[in-house]
């Protein structure tokens, strides 16, 4: 049911080929000191770094670099970024990379001037931000997380074996994001398909909640159909602009708060996947892939009507002559064969999981209550065991 809500999304998007040209105009709004945040070097290889630095120096900015943001950014790295930001009094954090770099930039933006330990305040206790926030802008190079237009920021604390996401409010959303689909052409295939599945998972986490006639569900079915269609094209031809641009746009709308309106939202695949990530440091989208089939088969009986709708409206399952259960199961079978076609990881062992970790992963999985079934730890253990047998 669409109850009462407020909707706003302050991120300005610049979309399309060569949209980096808009960076100069954006830079005029901020002071001189720019912190350029990026990952392990892909942007140097594909030339994006050189273009960004040219625009920054051409705009008379002083650039402070913070390189080496790893996938699944760590708390130690966050402390380092906070020092760089504070010491150099940066006016804008410019994140050039994927979700990890964007998430990290947001974490630095709230943590640099935080007088307490940001891990405790913002990630464990989820307190409001009451200190200075440094503005963030993004140039996206990897598609999947939606971090370019949301307040999400996931940090991994290896010492505590915890990977925790925080969803900050509008004031922490990127001020602007530049989305050039051609920047994603150089992604390795493994990262590309992991991102595709991350998008699918974001949509499903919101879709599989509630049973009423909600506009968000119709939007999500459209997004899913577009994603499935375009991803099949992109795996055959990664340089297909139409497919890659559709996917980039779908990813943004999958997790920029719009489709969550009126939904309780589930997020258990992410909770379990993140805990797997804390133990294995595996690629985010692949952790979700490994959990999804056992999880959805487990909750199907509790959300049968919605799984039936999913099978028919998203996977074109023909309902004639089938029971509701058969229709719903046929939908999940279609999903599984699509996942195999893309080359996604369905077996947790390929991510470095083994039996000795399962108890810890289950303990580290936060249990949320917005889905069709509130899981207990035994059910999480059963799902995890299945991921080792897929
Ligand atoms: O580090 P570099 O060298 O740049 O290489 C990266 C990295 O190895 C590479 N890459 C990125 N763009 C490339 C490229 N390689 C070649 N060409 C390009 N154009 O891809 C690898 C993965 O990048 P990463 O940023 O780690 O991936 P992703 O975008 O999937 O981000 C994952 C992080 O986002 C969090 C995840 O938990 C994980 O920590 N999430 C954030 C969310 C949010 N903000 O709302 C929600 C998501 O559910 C997710 O939890
Ligand atoms: Zn995700």
Q: Which domains does the chain have, with CATH numbers?
A: 12-183 (3.40.50.1970), 189-387 (1.20.1090.10)
Query: In angstroms, what is the span from residue 101 Cα to ligand 2's centroid?
Result: 14
Please tell me the residue having the least CA distance from ligand 1 atom 39: 72
For the stretch 249-264, pLDDT in tens is 999 999 999 999 999 9
Please, which pLDDT band fits residue 118 given cuts at 50, 70 and 90?
A: very high
Rounded to a whole number of angstroms, the CA Rg of the chain reads: 21
Helix (H, G, I), strand (E, B) or coil at 179: strand
Please, which pLDDT band fits residue 390 given cuts at 50, 70 and 90?
A: confident
Assess whether the C-beta atom of 97 lies below 6 angstroms from ligand 1: yes
For the stretch 36-51, pLDDT in tens is 999 999 999 999 999 9
For the stretch 138-169, pLDDT in tens is 999 999 999 999 999 999 999 999 999 999 99
Ligand 1 atom at minimum distance from 41 CA: 3
Assess whether the C-beta atom of 138 lies below 6 angstroms from ligand 1: no
**Residues 6 or more apart from 202 whose CB is under 8 A from it?**
146, 251, 254, 255
Assess whether the C-beta atom of 152 lies below 6 angstroms from ligand 1: yes
State the pLDDT at residue 200: 99
Ligand 1 mutation target, pool 68, 71, 106, most atoms within 8 A of CB: 71
Assess whether the C-beta atom of 246 lies below 6 angstroms from ligand 1: no
* Structure tokens belonging to residue 92: 């804008």
H-type alpha helices, 161-208: 189-207
Give me the mean pLDDT over the 83-92 stretch.
98
203/164 Cα distance (integer angstroms): 20
For the stretch 333-359, pLDDT in tens is 999 999 999 999 999 999 999 999 999
State the pLDDT at residue 165: 96
* Structure tokens belonging to residue 360: 């810890």
Assess whether the C-beta atom of 180 lies below 6 angstroms from ligand 1: no
| pLDDT > 90? residue 12 | yes
Query: In angstroms, what is the span from residue 226 Cα to ligand 1's centroid?
Result: 22
Please, which pLDDT band fits residue 285 given cuts at 50, 70 and 90?
A: very high
Beta bridge mates, 156: 74, 163
Distance of CA 26 to the CA centre of its chain: 25
CA dihedral angle for residue 196, residue 198, residue 199, residue 201, rounded to 10 degrees:
120
* Structure tokens belonging to residue 76: 């130690």
Assess whether the C-beta atom of 195 lies below 6 angstroms from ligand 1: yes
Assess whether the C-beta atom of 42 lies below 6 angstroms from ligand 1: yes
pTM of this structure: 0.98
State the pLDDT at residue 365: 98
Closest C-alpha among 366, 386, 387 to residue 377: 366
Assess whether the C-beta atom of 105 lies below 6 angstroms from ligand 1: no
Helix (H, G, I), strand (E, B) or coil at 113: coil
Ligand 1 mutation target, pool 11, 20, 37, 39, most atoms within 8 A of CB: 39
Give me the mean pLDDT over the 125-150 stretch.
98
241/231 Cα distance (integer angstroms): 12
Ligand 1 atom at minimum distance from 274 CA: 37
Please, which pLDDT band fits residue 66 given cuts at 50, 70 and 90?
A: very high
| pLDDT > 90? residue 2 | no
Give me the mean pLDDT over the 291-316 stretch.
98
Strand intervals (E) in 82-221: 92-97, 136-140, 152-157, 162-167, 176-179
State the pLDDT at residue 8: 95
**Residues 6 or more apart from 72 whose CB is under 8 A from it?**
100, 154, 156, 163, 277, 281, 284
State the pLDDT at residue 268: 98
Give whole-number Cα distances, 327 to 98, 136, 206, 321, 336, in Å: 37, 46, 21, 9, 14
318/311 Cα distance (integer angstroms): 9
For helices 215-236 and 324-342, angle between their N-to-C axes, nearest 10 degrees: 40
| pLDDT > 90? residue 177 | yes
Give whole-number Cα distances, 107 to 154, 164, 166, 284, in Å: 8, 12, 9, 18
State the pLDDT at residue 3: 86
Assess whether the C-beta atom of 201 lies below 6 angstroms from ligand 1: no
Assess whether the C-beta atom of 99 lies below 6 angstroms from ligand 1: yes
């Amino acid at each position: 049911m669409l109850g009462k809500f407020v909707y706003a999304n302050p991120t300005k998007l610049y979309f399309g080929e060569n949209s980096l040209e808009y960076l100069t105009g954006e830079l005029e709004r901020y002071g001189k000191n720019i912190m350029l945040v990026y990952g392990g070097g892909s942007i140097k290889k594909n030339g994006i770094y050189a273009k960004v630095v040219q625009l920054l120096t051409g705009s008379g900015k002083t650039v402070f670099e913070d390189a080496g943001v790893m996938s699944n950014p760590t708390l130690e790295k966050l402390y380092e970024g906070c020092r760089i930001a504070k010491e150099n009094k940066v006016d804008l954090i410019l994140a050039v990379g994927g979700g990890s770099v964007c998430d990290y930039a947001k974490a630095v933006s709230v943590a640099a001037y935080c007088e307490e330990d940001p891990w405790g305040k913002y990630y464990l206790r989820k307190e409001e931000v009451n200190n200075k926030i440094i503005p963030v802008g993004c140039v996206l190079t990897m598609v999947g997380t939606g971090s370019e237009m949301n307040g999400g920021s996931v940090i991994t604390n290896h010492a505590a074996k915890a990977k925790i996401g925080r969803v900050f409010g509008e004031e922490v959303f990127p001020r602007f994001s530049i989305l050039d689909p051609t920047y994603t052409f150089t992604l390795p295939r493994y990262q590309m398909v992991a991102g595709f599945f991350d998008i699918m998972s974001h949509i499903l986490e919101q879709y599989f909640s509630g049973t009423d006639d909600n506009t968000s569900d119709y939007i999500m079915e459209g997004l899913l159909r577009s994603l499935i269609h375009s991803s099949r094209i992109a795996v055959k031809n990664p340089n297909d602009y139409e497919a890659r641009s559709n996917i980039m746009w779908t990813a943004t709308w999958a997790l920029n708060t719009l489709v969550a309106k009126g939904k309780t939202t589930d997020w258990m695949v992410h909770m379990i996947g993140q805990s797997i990530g804390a133990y294995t440091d595996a690629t985010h989208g692949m952790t979700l892939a490994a959990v999804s089939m056992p999880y959805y088969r487990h909750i199907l009986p509790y959300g049968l009507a919605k799984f039936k709708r999913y099978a028919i409206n998203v996977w074109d399952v023909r309902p004639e002559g089938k029971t509701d259960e058969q229709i719903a199961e046929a939908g999940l079978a279609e999903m599984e064969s699509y996942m195999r076609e893309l080359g996604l990881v369905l077996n947790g062992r390929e991510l470095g999981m083994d039996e000795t970790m399962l108890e810890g992963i289950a303990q580290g999985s936060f249990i949320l209550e917005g889905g069709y079934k509130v899981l207990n730890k035994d059910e999480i253990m059963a799902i995890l065991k299945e991921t080792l047998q897929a």
